[in-house]
Amino acid sequence: MGTPRFAVPTLDALVEAGHEIVLVVTQPDRKVGRGQKLKAPPVAARAAELSLPLAQPRALRSGPFPERYVDLQADVGVVIAYGRILPERLLDAPRHGCVNVHASLLPRWRGAAPIQHAILAGDAITGVCTQRMEPTLDTGPVYVREEIPIGAEETAGELHDRLSERSASVAVRTLELLGRIEPTPQPEVGITWAPKIDRADGQVDWAEPAAVLHRRVRAMTPWPGGWIPWGGGPLKLRSVRLAEGSGPPGTLLSLDPLIVACGEGALQLVEVQAPGRRAVPGGAFANGLHLEPGASLLPRGHTDGA
């Protein structure tokens, strides 16, 4: 069971390892783009390429799917980024239950967005865990745990891809051990939650320390991206790095490179994208607007104390 691109390497790895895939379960096709055309999720598309049996149920508690799933008499269910809560009947149907592949070091960062929250919090390491699923979210005992360092400049998109590949190998290794090892209960201490990210999480407030904003932009790249309100839409901060300097928050300390003072320290805007424009180097953006050092990069219409 899985839906987004993150889960595709795990599906491929299970097939390559010789496991019989009796059913691939993913979410229904969704309407996308201006034309609102139906598009299959990545796991569904990959299952079709591999000629695997596929189900995309709209309901997990009623209709034909629960009976079909139970009748499979599968040895184990492998779940990775499926995006829906499984009822207990489905969790218990396979002989060995369901194994979830989760992109964090449980119990740290239970929930929907562990990759973004690990970067946002400044964690030095993250990883992949496989857990025996329980009705409660991400609380199950852990089979396999592998740590991965987080790069100092790594974005959520880059870490996503590394964890996706590592998840595939961890899933295969877990199935090799299934029935021969007992999973370890998660500790009661160190529990943190990683709620779903939305667009507002990417908004940058220059009053915060530069180190915090550096993590925020990286954590929100590629979506929703770091941004500040600007004219008719967001000014997207495509790439940033820590820089030397200080001054009133939002003040331009340098134009090329484009450096902005924060509540503590400063941030270089390596690449930005104005509303309706293509992404450009920070210096080119500043020159195009004829900005000067000492000018403010606070949202247009903002005044101190407003």
To the nearest 10°, report the CA torsion of 129, 133, 136, 142. -40
For residue 301, pLDDT beyond 90: no
- The residue count for the chain: 306
63's tokens: 């209709």
Residues 62 and 69 sit within 8 Å (Cβ to Cβ): no
**What would the pLDDT profile of 245-257 be if each residue is shown by its tens digit?**
999 999 999 999 9
pTM: 0.94
For residue 118, pLDDT beyond 80: yes
For residue 207, pLDDT beyond 60: yes
**What would the pLDDT profile of 209-262 be if each residue is shown by its tens digit?**
999 999 999 999 999 999 999 877 899 999 999 999 999 999 999 999 999 999
Radius of gyration of the chain (CA): 23
Which residue in 287, 196, 285 sits closest to 236, CA to CA? 285
Phi, psi dihedrals of residue 237, rounded to the nearest 5°: -95, 90
Residue 231 identity: G
Residues 234 and 272 sit within 8 Å (Cβ to Cβ): no
Cβ count near 187 (within 10 Å): 10
**Domains (ranges, CATH) in the chain?**
5-177 (3.40.50.170), 199-288 (3.10.25.10)
**What would the pLDDT profile of 45-83 be if each residue is shown by its tens digit?**
999 999 999 999 999 999 999 999 999 999 999 999 999
Average pLDDT over residues 19-30: 97
CA 278 to chain centre: 24
Residue 304: pLDDT band with limits 50, 70, 90: very low
For residue 298, the model assigns a pLDDT of 81
DSSP 200: G
206's tokens: 């220059």
Residues 293 and 255 sit within 8 Å (Cβ to Cβ): yes
256's tokens: 């090329």
Residue 300: pLDDT band with limits 50, 70, 90: low
Residue 212 identity: V
